[in-house]
Amino acid sequence: MNASTPTDARDPALSLERLRADIAQILGESPEEIADDDNLVDHGLDSMRVLNLASRWSETGVEIPFAELMEQPTLNEWWARIDALQRRAPEAP
Amino acid sequence: MSSVQENEVRTPRAKVTPTMRPLSEAQTGLWYAQQLAPDNPFCNTAHALWIEGELDVETFTRAADRVARETEALALCMTDGDTGPRQWVDPDGWPRLERIDLSATPQPAQAAQAWMREERLTPVDPTRDALACQRLLRLGERHFVWYLRVHHLATDGYGMALLGERLAERYRLALQAADETPERQLGAFSAVLDEDATYSQGEKRQRDAAWWRETLSGAPAATGLETAVLAPASDDSHRYAMALDATLREGLRALSQTLGQPWPDVLTALTAEYCRRHVGGAECIVGVPWMGRLGSASARVPAMVMNVLPLRVARADDVATLVDETATALMKARRHGRYRGEQIRRDLGLIGGQRRLHGPLINVQPFERPLKLSEGLDTRLEILATGPVDDVTLGFRGDAVQVLTLEIEANPALYDADQVEAHALRLSTFLQAAIETHARGAGLDDVGLATPAEAQRYLHDVNATAHSLPEATLVSLYEQTMADSPAAVALEAPGCRMTYAELERRTRALAQQLREGGVGRESVVAVAMPRSLEQVIALVAVQRAGGAYLPLDLAHPDERLQRILDSARPPCVLVSADARHRFHGLTTLTPEAWREQPTEATLDSAPRPQDAAYVIYTSGSTGEPKGVVVEHRAIVNRLEWMREQFGFSSDDRILQKTPATFDVSVWEFFLPLLAGATLVVAPPEAHRDPRALAALIREHRITTLHFVPSMLAAFLATPDTHGLTLTRVFVSGEALGAELRDRFHTLIDAELYNLYGPTEAAVDVSWWPAGREDRSRAVPIGYPVWNTRLYVLDARMRPLPPGVAGDLYLGGVQLARGYLRRPALTAERFIGDPHVPGGRLYKSGDIARWRRDGALEFLGRGDDQVKLRGLRIELGEIEAALLTAPAVMRAEVMLREDLPGEPRLVGYVQLETAGNEKFEGEQPDSERAAALRSRLATHLAARVPDYMIPAAFVALESWPLTANGKLDRRALPLPMCEADEGAAPRSQTERDMAALFSEVLGRERPPGVDADFFDLGGDSLTAVHLVLAIQQRWQRDIGLGAIFSTPTVAGLAALIDSASVAGDDGLGPWVRLSPAESDEAPLFAIHPAGGVAWNYRALARAIGRPAFGLQSPALDPEQALPSSIDALARDYVERVRELHPRGPVHLVGWSVGGIIAQAMAVRLRALGREVGLVALLDAYPAECWRNEPEPDPVAALRALLAIAGHDPEAHPELDSREKIVGFLRRGDSTLGNLPEAALNGVVRAVTGTNRLIRNHYHSRYGGTLLHLRAGLDHADRPELQAGLWQPYAREVEALELPLTHAEMTSRDAANRIAPLLIERLQRTRVSMGESA
């Protein structure tokens, strides 16, 4: 879903700023409005959008578990998990 | 349950004193809802997991018990404390899984359904009963049901799903290894409460409150999909599920992809648009559930967290805009999603039965997965109940890839099963069409609402009215009658009559005269005469000469007559001699100059069916009246239909009382002539005088007559009219109320028909039999007449489904030709029929909707035109006339109904400064207003008919505007000064109290500190709401009595601020009814059967002297009811002596209260006390009831229904105490809102007092009884008269009022009765003074 977004496939790997930009886009805000520790629910985030973000980010080859994103929806928390997953992930075949 | 499990699950825990905690805000809302309706199980949520396969029952039981034990919410206990409700977790209070074996029953699945239904419908008292229960029902070797029922206070739907998943997880793990436990724990319930407490004390909550207030300012009123009167949520909703097909699912996902919005938001947006189409406004307000779990401590906690947020969705041009705007609105709403919907409702003052925050609920659940226990087990989760459904929930469950199910839940009080199914079909069709429309690149307006089957039915099936008619004209038809029955009486008036032969001769003579004067086909001849035989002769003669008559009302001002004459240019005016001078310059012919004997010449210009028969002018929006030209074939269809439909014959005697300028008169004039019946002409002005009419009807044996509903109401209010017998009565001209219909049938013996139609369609195009058995709450305008089509269309001329309001279009043979000499206007209002080739339509300007039985309901005007007492008024015409008054810059006229049943026109003007000054200066407001009124009314009187002159005028300096810059009519001020309400609130308590007043009373502005709750429109029902609101705000139960004795903002605030609040529940031995304090002798009002005396409040206040209500001891469970009425009267007299030790007293009693009052009067006299007035409000002596069968307790209880304002006859199903009390609880009545103890007291009073009455024997009272009879009741017992009291009093003064028994103490009745009592109270003071 949302395959044709401007941030799509720009980077081979995910970065904090890519996450921020995607989150901002899906919330209809600008990236600078999303602070690292903001509870994203206070920006109007809902589970369906979390799922969409997870599947969008999984297209980079890293399997992002949706359930984990649900627990603490802040940019920092997500980046910490995704960053760890990316480092661990083997190169895509 | 085996002992093994018992030991296992009861693992001892450290015994600790449970922590008592307040309820969360989410729980508190439900707590009060449940408190208000303790017998209603609507807060029970439940599901059933149907299991098929090899279930390991022991393992399952262990898993279920473990889940229950780890879920604190399932072990909650609650209690109501001084500071509001509290809760704690009872470590041992979790629900064990018990097993029930149904496998031996003949049909185990049905038995399981029945068992679960009964369990789920058992009310739960949260302070006493366990909040949760789970069972494993065994249906057979391989069939089981896991049933879980939890009170909504303990969990929401999300929590229920968590519990199901947790059980499945534990079962799977336990199958692998008995002591395997899941990796992750469920969260702690206390964390949910902590989070709630943090929020409710934090700043965020304040910001959220402000945001919601701003977001919802100016929001439309919330309504459901069907416009039934809102009823409280039921315990057992209709449920209907429908799988949405792959085409729709794929289309939805594709649309979501194109629009870049998640598909649940797309679905919410389109469904909201579906709701908006039903409501019909520019926007609608729906509810969306918000689970509150994301990023919250409650993410893994079964608990009640869910909130319902109001969502405004406005009309949009295309799907993309609609979805974008909705998604944005949802996004913003979620940012403030913690703020409780119930609180928003209170913030906005939407308190009370019909005032809601949102309409339908739209609930998209994209994460719903089938619950899977283990391989080898087939499972199906059935949701049995999800909590209260106020109106309707439009739910979608599924991932939209594999599955998407539309699930509708509806309140059965508002929707029946067919309607629910129809909505499922219509909504799915609408969604599909909206998706396709967007794919085509078309706008949202391209999507219609009706399904193809609905379109077929409501365009064509309901309009199958073809009926063949001869090629005839009115003239050919009545000439036939004249030839067939020359000796029959054609016309009659007091003191004279005329046969058909005579009528033939006179009209032929005048027709010849007119013909010689140049009148022929298509000539328009004006007739300006009062009602008389001559007037009838004139109308018939004009038509026989070939022309069309144009009636003129001599009561209209010259200026208006002139404009009509300028437009119609009649060659001749038939006018009575005394009005001839008003037609200067025109050819006039007065009756004195009419030829009486015809010549030999034949009338050579008989009209053809397509020639004009009459021209009637109606009010025009630009200020210019417009002449409607109706042809013979149109009116012949109307009259022949009427003659045949209602079986008119030569025996009928039809009253002509409608002014000829009003088109109803057309059938009054001509139907008798077609049927060979007698036309009885009422004297001029008789139509305004009910007594004269009643005499006329009796004297002339009228069989048929017509009323405008408001005139019918006035007619019925006059006792002379009661008991009349007629064949049929027709009403039209304005909406007929159900109450008026029913009153008609209790007082008059006749059929009643409701007709509808504009002048532009030959009088009437639809009819409805509003007979004795008609129970329609909104009386329909009914079915189309012969050869007539009625459409309810949307703005794009597409048919609308039943229940949806739209523009009413009329088609068929009865349509007028058009407006005389106004081709542009004719082309605008008479248009082509898009649904029938070659057809014509007239846009009525009325709003209507179909009922499912093919009858139409009229809803009002769609434009500026209004009707006042049956007369059609274009506000524009009055405004145009006002603008010609000196100094008036801008004028708006509005029909207001500030008091129900009392519509009036109010004119708003903006005056030039120069003109304004004349009315300012030193004059007080009232004088200035009077001067303005007199000046403008005088000006209008010369220009418009008297019924178009506003009753009040308001001068404005600026105009209130809506957000989009239009005049905000709703914000135009009331045309009177507000009562003096005292200073603005001073302390925080006063400010809060004033806010609660406005909240409960639905006022926009908080009242001043001295404002009296009851003067502001409060009644005992809203008083109950105020008590509850105060309880919620300050956790103090001040009791109803406090509101009665201290009804001001300042008084109640002081009570709250004072340390001790004595909870006066208003159920004590007496209540103070009036704040009046003086030395005048007090009035004591004795309770009716229900035992409470609050109902006398309006009357006592209108009388304005000190007044007390005496109440039954039965209200107190500790008190026994005395053994006789005399003993009761003795007790009450003791109370009187305590409250007022010496001096005269006055008594009033309604119903049973009257019986007691008489007994008290006897007793007071015996004690030597002076008794002044003894007023009996529709009370009758005890022997009237003695021979009536003793009512069984249930019958006595059913009387409560009447006391609460319901019709007991309409509810035969309420045949037990529980059902009756439950019904009252669900309704928004004073009784239904009483606390349990109080309602029990009322029940005791009703049953107890009834018994005493039968055993009572009256003593004679040596004074005068004043009796006020409810004249609108007792049709079945006419012997109930004041005279029955004669044996028990020295004198009985009898008065009769046009009221029903039930309304004798209502606010309206108080205004009628109070002056009568005041006058007599003053008189008794004089006579007592003399005797002293």
Compare B1199 and B1023 and report the one with higher pLDDT.
B1023
pLDDT band at B5 (very low <50, low <70, confident <90, very high): very low
Summary count for chain A: helices (H), strands (E): 4, 0
B863-887 mean pLDDT: 77
Backbone angles phi, psi at B867, to 5 degrees: -125, 130
**Residues of A whose CB is below 8 A from B294:** 41, 45-47, 50, 70, 73
- Number of CB atoms found within 10 A of residue B57's CB: 13
Q: How far, in Å, CA of B155 to CA of B302, rounded? A: 6
The answer to whether A72 contacts B330, with C-beta atoms less than 8 Å apart, is no
The answer to whether B331 contacts A27, with C-beta atoms less than 8 Å apart, is yes
Q: B253 pLDDT exceeds 80?
A: yes
Nearest by CB to residue B367, choosing from A39, A45, A47, is: A47
The answer to whether B294 contacts A3, with C-beta atoms less than 8 Å apart, is no
Q: pLDDT at position B1036, please?
A: 72
Active-site residue, B1258 included: no
**How big is the CA angle at B324 (ends B322 and B325), to the nearest 5 degrees?**
65
Q: What pairing do the DSSP bridges indicate for beta strands B524-528 and B573-575?
A: parallel
Find the helix packing angle between B533-544 and B500-516, rounded to 10°. Answer: 60
- Name the residue in chain A with its Cα closest to that of B259: A2
Query: Cα-Cα-Cα-Cα dihedral of B39, B40, B45, B50, to 10°?
Result: 90
Instruction: Give the pLDDT confidence of B673-689 residue by residue, as tens digits.
Output: 999 999 999 998 777 78
Q: What is the mean pLDDT of chain B?
A: 87
Q: How far, in Å, CA of B874 to CA of B799, rounded? A: 27
**Residues of B whose CB is below 8 A from A47:** 294, 366-367
Q: pLDDT at position B1104, please?
A: 77
Tell me which residues of chain B, numbers 260 to 289, contact chain A at a CB-CB cutoff of 8 Å: 260, 262-265
**Which of B1063-1088 are b and which e, b meaning 16 or more Cβ less than 10 Å from the residue's Cβ?**
ebbbbebbbbbbbbeeebbbbbbbbb
Whole-Å CA distances, B830 to B628, B651, B841, B1097: 12, 39, 6, 55
Structure tokens at B907: 């004119």
Whole-Å CA distances, B364 to B236, B285, B897, B1222: 22, 17, 41, 33
Q: How far, in Å, CA of B185 to CA of B599, rounded? A: 110
Structure tokens at B119: 């369990």
**Which amino acid, one-letter code, is at B961?**
L
Percent of chain B with pLDDT over 70: 90
Q: Which of B1017, B1172, B1152, B963 is nearest to B1082 (CA)?
A: B1172
Beta bridge partners of B784: B766
Q: Which of B367, B385, B363 is nearest to B147 (CA)?
A: B385
Instruction: Give the pLDDT confidence of B980-999 residue by residue, as tens digits.
Output: 466 677 777 888 888 888 87
**Residues B31 and B136 sit within 8 Å (Cβ to Cβ):** no
Nearest by CB to residue A73, choosing from B294, B332, B337, is: B294
Distance of alpha carbon B907 from its chain centroid, rounded? 27
Q: B532 pLDDT exceeds 70?
A: yes
pLDDT band at B1190 (very low <50, low <70, confident <90, very high): low
Could you report the predicted ipTM of this complex, rounded to two decimals?
0.86
**Residues of A whose CB is below 8 A from B327:** 28
DSSP state, residue B773: T
Q: Which of B678, B669, B666, B673 is nearest to B631 (CA)?
A: B666
Instruction: Give the pLDDT confidence of B72-81 residue by residue, as tens digits.
Output: 999 999 998 7
Backbone angles phi, psi at B338, to 5 degrees: -75, -25
Q: How far is B334 from chain A (nearest CA, A)?
A: 5
Structure tokens at B491: 């016309």
**Residues B1114 and B1243 sit within 8 Å (Cβ to Cβ):** no
Is residue B330 within 8 angstroms of chain A, CB to CB? Answer: yes
Active-site pick, B700, B1140, B1274, B1301: B1301
Q: How far, in Å, CA of B1190 to CA of B1251, rounded? A: 8
Q: Which of B46, B65, B50, B55 is nearest to B1 (CA)?
A: B65
- Name the residue in chain B with its Cα closest to that of A1: B257
**Residues of A whose CB is below 8 A from B264:** 48
B760-773 mean pLDDT: 96
B801-823 mean pLDDT: 95
User: Domain A16-87 class?
Assistant: mainly alpha
Residues 6+ positions from B333 with CB-CB distance below 8 Å? A44, B215, B288, B290, B309, B310, B311
What's the whole-model pTM score?
0.69
Instruction: Give the pLDDT confidence of B379-426 residue by residue, as tens digits.
Output: 999 999 988 888 999 999 999 999 999 999 999 888 999 999 999 999
Percent of chain B with pLDDT over 90: 54
The answer to whether B334 contacts A45, with C-beta atoms less than 8 Å apart, is yes
Q: How far is B316 from chain A (nearest CA, A)?
A: 20
Instruction: Give the pLDDT confidence of B112-150 residue by residue, as tens digits.
Output: 999 999 999 999 999 999 999 999 999 999 999 999 999
Q: pLDDT at position B1273, please?
A: 81
Residues 6+ positions from B490 with CB-CB distance below 8 Å? B482, B498, B499, B500, B502, B503, B672, B673, B678, B679
The answer to whether B299 contacts A70, with C-beta atoms less than 8 Å apart, is yes
B875-890 mean pLDDT: 83
**Residues A44 and B327 sit within 8 Å (Cβ to Cβ):** no
**Residues of B whose CB is below 8 A from A48:** 262-265, 366
Task: Find the chain A residues whose C-beta atoms sit closer than 8 A to any C-beta of B.
Answer: 1-3, 5, 27-28, 39-52, 70-74
Percent of chain A with pLDDT over 70: 82
Chain A interface mutation, best of B255, B294, B300, B305, highest count of A Cβ atoms under 10 Å:
B294
The answer to whether B335 contacts A70, with C-beta atoms less than 8 Å apart, is no
Q: pLDDT at position B1327, please?
A: 55
Range with the lowest mean pLDDT among B358-362, B496-500, B925-929? B925-929
**Residues of A whose CB is below 8 A from B332:** 44
Whole-Å CA distances, B700 to B494, B501, B694, B696, B1127: 8, 21, 10, 6, 56
Q: pLDDT at position B196, please?
A: 94
Q: B553 pLDDT exceeds 50?
A: yes
Chains A & B: contacts with CB separation below 8 Å = 57
Q: How far, in Å, CA of B98 to CA of B79, rounded? A: 26
Structure tokens at B444: 């949202």
